């Protein structure tokens, strides 16, 4: 039997989670996926906010479980977050993210939420999860170099005189298609896991045996890559724009799969108390919060990212979105909270430097990096201090 205080704090924690989901939808997951496409005039700001909200909701439901569980149970050892701790951490993190949205600076949501959850967890007497921290820090540190580097190389390829665009764009589209069919989805695979399109197709061809591995997966991936590339070659006039919008959609979907965990992850320990609530209910609620945030608050940040960081054309936009999608899916696969602002801004800057640094605002980038570092430190300190003060009462 759940007492009234626990029930009340759980309700407040759920409301704080919805506030966090709205702030994320209005900020990182709602603004970053289509910012390059808007910068390239491939889609309007308002239409981008509408589309990214729907795709983010789908990603939250179909791919959100791994990061959600990591945020809820793997950041601090030895303790389980209480409803009160979840409320404190979420309110502090959401407030910082919302302030970033209204000020026009992209606060790194993963930094903020991670700092807040670790802060309240340590205040409860938990132990630092050093192994998980090493994974997280490695991804955060490598993202600007890997994402920016791939974006730079891709943009240089698209600008190379010796590589015609009618060859480069279909080849890149085929590569993305091969990645998509190897991404895991919750609706595929066994009941207690997930599976990829290539794996399930391989299993169907094998007569219902185990999911495809090795050579079968490679053959299926190459086949899909060839079909996607052929379709891009068939309509060369619209291939660039269609590819750019498809990439934006894939990044929006991936953003939902990762960012929803930052909003609802702190609620996962409460499922032990409220056993009648399945985790899919949390994913649906978090996805709805992302959707509303994208529709109501994302246009401001989309404009900021599309126009303030770099003057992007279609080629550089494509170059920015390809590594963004790949890094996002890697983070989802390993259950690591990731900042989409960090991913996309690094990729935008990398693609911008391929054209000699055209339009890249160094001043804006400096303030952004300081905001990322400050959000991590501030959220950790505030959440630890607030929870310690509450525990002492």
Is 260 within 8 Å of 18 (Cβ atoms)? no
Q: What is the pLDDT of residue 114?
A: 93
Q: Which helix (H) or strand (E) holds 257?
A: helix 236-264
Q: Is residue 237 part of a domain?
A: no
User: Which pLDDT tens digit goes with each residue over 75-129?
Assistant: 998 888 888 888 899 888 878 877 776 776 656 788 889 999 999 999 999 999 9
Q: Is residue 172 part of a domain?
A: no
Distance CA 236, CA 233 (A): 5
Is 318 within 8 Å of 118 (Cβ atoms)? no
Backbone angles phi, psi at 208, to 5 degrees: 90, 15
Number of domains in the chain: 1
Work out the burial of residue 214: count CB atoms within 10 Å of its CB; fewer than 13 is exposed, 13-18 middle, 19 or more buried: exposed
Distance CA 91, CA 239 (A): 44
Q: Is residue 93 part of a domain?
A: yes
Instruction: Give the C-alpha distances (Å, rounded to integers) separating 284 from 247, 309, 328, 331, 347.
Output: 24, 33, 20, 20, 30
User: Which pLDDT tens digit goes with each residue over 6-55?
Assistant: 788 888 888 888 888 887 887 666 666 777 677 767 777 778 878 888 99
Q: Is residue 220 part of a domain?
A: no
Q: What is the pLDDT of residue 201?
A: 78
Q: Is residue 74 part of a domain?
A: yes
Spans in the chain with pLDDT lower than 50: 309-310
Q: Is residue 173 part of a domain?
A: no
Q: Is residue 232 part of a domain?
A: no
Q: What is the pLDDT of residue 307?
A: 62
Q: DSSP characters for 306-363?
A: HHHS----HHHHHHHHHHHHHHHHHHHHHT----HHHHHHHHHHHHHHTTTSTT--HH
Residue 185: beta bridge partners?
Answer: 195
Q: Which helix (H) or strand (E) holds 174?
A: helix 165-180
Structural domain containing residue 40: 4-157+243-392
Q: What is the pLDDT of residue 75?
A: 93
Q: Is residue 213 part of a domain?
A: no
Q: What is the pLDDT of residue 386?
A: 93
């Amino acid at each position: 039997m759940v007492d009234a205080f626990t029930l009340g704090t759980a309700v407040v924690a759920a409301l704080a989670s919805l506030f966090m989901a709205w702030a994320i939808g209005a900020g990182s997951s709602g603004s970053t996926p289509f910012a390059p496409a808007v910068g390239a005039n491939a889609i309007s700001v308002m239409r981008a906010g509408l589309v990214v909200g729907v795709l983010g909701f789908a990603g939250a439901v179909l791919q959100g479980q791994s990061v959600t569980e990591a945020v809820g149970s793997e950041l601090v050892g030895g303790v389980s977050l209480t409803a009160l701790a979840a409320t404190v951490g979420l309110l502090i993190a959401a407030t910082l993210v919302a302030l970033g949205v209204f000020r026009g600076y992209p606060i790194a949501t993963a930094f903020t939420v991670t700092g807040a959850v670790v802060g309240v967890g340590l205040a409860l007497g938990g132990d630092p999860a050093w192994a998980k921290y090493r994974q997280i820090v490695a991804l955060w540190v490598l993202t600007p170099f890997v994402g920016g580097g791939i974006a730079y190389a891709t943009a240089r390829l698209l600008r190379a005189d010796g590589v015609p665009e009618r060859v480069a764009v279909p080849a890149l589209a085929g590569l993305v298609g091969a990645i998509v069919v190897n991404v895991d989805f919750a609706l595929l695979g066994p009941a207690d896991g997930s599976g990829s399109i290539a794996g399930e197709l391989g299993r169907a061809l094998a007569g219902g045996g185990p999911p495809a591995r090795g050579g079968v997966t490679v053959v299926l991936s190459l086949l899909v890559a060839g079909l996607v590339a052929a379709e891009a070659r068939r309509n060369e006039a619209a291939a660039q724009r269609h590819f750019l919008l498809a990439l934006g959609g894939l990044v929006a979907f991936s953003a939902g799969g990762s960012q929803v965990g930052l909003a609802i992850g702190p609620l996962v320990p409460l499922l032990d108390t409220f056993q009648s609530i399945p985790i899919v209910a949390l994913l649906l609620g978090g996805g709805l919060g992302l959707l509303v945030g994208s529709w109501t608050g994302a246009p401001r940040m989309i404009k900021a990212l599309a126009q303030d960081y770099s003057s992007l054309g279609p080629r550089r936009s494509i170059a920015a979105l390809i590594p963004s999608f790949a890094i996002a899916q890697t983070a989802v696969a390993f259950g690591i909270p990731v900042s989409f602002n960090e991913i996309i801004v690094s990729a935008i800057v990398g693609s911008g430097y391929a054209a000699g640094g055209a339009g890249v605002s160094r001043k804006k980038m400096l303030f952004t990096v300081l905001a990322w570092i400050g959000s991590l430190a501030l959220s950790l300190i505030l959440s630890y201090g607030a929870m310690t003060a509450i525990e002492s009462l």
